Amino acid sequence: MTDTSTRFREFKMPDVGEGLTEAEILKWYVQPGDVVTDGQVVCEVETAKAAVELPIPYDGVVHELRFEEGTTVDVGTSIITIDVAPGSGDAPSAPVAQTSAAPVAPAVEEAEPKGRQPVLVGYGVAETSTKRRARKGTAAVPEQAAAAAAVQAEMNGHSGTATATAARPLAKPPVRKLAKDLGIDLATVTPTGPDGVITREDVHAAAAPTTAPAPAAAPAPVAQPVAEAPAPVAAGARETRIPIKGVRKATAAAMVGSAFTAPHVTEFITLDVTRTMKLVDELKADKDMAGLRVNPLLLIAKALLVAIKRNPQVNAAWDEANQEIVQKHYVNLGIAAATPRGLIVPNIKDAQDKTLPELAAALGELVATAREGKTTPAAMQGGTVTITNVGVFGVDTGTPILNPGESAILAVGAIKLQPWVHKGKVKPRQVTTLALSFDHRLVDGELGSKVLADVAAILEQPKRLITWA
């Protein structure tokens, strides 16, 4: 007879590792009675920063789902029960949580490594390789467990020390979907990402020889996440109350904190970007940019990076606790993205080192991942400056609020054909307005003006991308 304390395993809402204490269950991918394997994604949850898929760390059969979709659950609370020894006896009417009592069947015990660190998803990152004894009648699966842990560690921006030796290739969910859409077997793809993780570029490279040149590198179309439908409004109702949670809750707290902590100053400049728009058209036809997303935002991002290089003091942070100004010698460029779940600001790490094609690829992946709702909390941490493109909504300009911990944010307005004095004559030209908000504790008026003026000068004369780089 099997001891129920070892037969049924409780999977708890994982420690998020990002200062968050709860998450909402968005969707269950399994139901009671379904067979699951170690590393299989069983549900999608939404924290205050991102939607994340959770893999189960056991093999077995789903016995019970503890919560319904739409429920907000505290970290550390059991959300699903797995029968790890199905068929070994009658199941109790209620699942039995794992206890600290000595197990009757040591063969199903999972050794807990010392020094385990909490992460966003999965079963944790161990300082030494996690070892699991083989269950009776099954093969040992240490490699599979290590691979699953490495995948989840990479998804959350951590580098796990356990080495994945299984044949299962390492790739983020959006990359796996891209490979599936393109008909590419990930086992045949050579990884170039950190710790052997397969990137979008690797998948595109594998697909290139067998697909047509023009559309080969274009990301496969993905289903757009659909915003949750509002509750039906009763006839005659004068108000509707919407719970504040998830991304909206986090955004509200961040904006209030930023607005009442950092003294904001915003400056504006209106400029002629006709030459920049012509360069965008030329780059779209350039073979070196084939398959990449080329738009005005790409050149605006590059212009801001060059302006920061010319005025490095703007790339800093205010350390109130230590009463220090922290000068950043790297640029993690944030891009504000409106998603069905709310505003998020993922950033491109070390953007200052990227070539124009590399920056285009990074922007494309950032946008695609955000639209899929798969942006990880790690991708939204550590930003230094941000760009928000309000022009896509037809807005001329705005006074953007700083992302907490950052020194500046550049708002880009709509690009419109307007009368403009060019070479002494009034002509129709492509014109836009830029707005730069900055933390006046860190950035004085002269420095902020220089940065904004440099960005404008580059966009008016894009050749400065070469002469000033």
Q: Which pTM was predicted? A: 0.57
What is the model's pLDDT at position 48?
64
Other C-beta atoms lying within 10 Å of the C-beta of residue 36: 22
What value does the mean pLDDT take over residues 29-33? Answer: 93
Dump pLDDT digits (tens) for 391-441. Answer: 999 999 999 989 888 999 999 999 999 999 999 999 999 999 999 999 999
* SS3 of residue 37 by DSSP: coil
What is the model's pLDDT at position 327?
94
- For 161-302, strand residue ranges (E) read 170-171, 197-198, 264-272
Among residues of the chain, what percentage have pLDDT more than 70?
Answer: 71
Catalytic residue at 440? yes
Instruction: Measure the CA–CA gap between 338 and 226, rounded to whole angstroms.
Output: 13
DSSP alpha helix (H) spans, 311-404: 356-371
- CA pseudo-torsion sign 243, 246, 247, 253: positive
* SS3 of residue 270 by DSSP: strand
Which of 63, 264, 329, 440 is an active site residue?
440
Angle of helix 445-460 versus helix 296-310 axis, rounded to 10? 140
Q: In the beta sheet, which residues pair with residue 388?
A: 411
What is the model's pLDDT at position 415?
96
Instruction: From residue 16, give the alpha-carbon distance in Å to each of 26, 343, 366.
Output: 16, 20, 22
Dump pLDDT digits (tens) for 260-291. Answer: 677 889 999 999 999 999 999 999 999 999 99
DSSP 18: S
* SS3 of residue 362 by DSSP: helix
Inter-residue contact 176 to 191 (CB < 8 Å) = no
What value does the mean pLDDT take over residues 200-208? Answer: 74
Instruction: Measure the CA–CA gap between 143 and 163, rounded to whole angstroms.
Output: 8
What is the model's pLDDT at position 184?
80
What value does the mean pLDDT take over residues 294-310? Answer: 97
**Average pLDDT along the chain:** 77
Q: How confident is the model at residue 249 (pLDDT cuts 50, 70, 90)?
A: confident
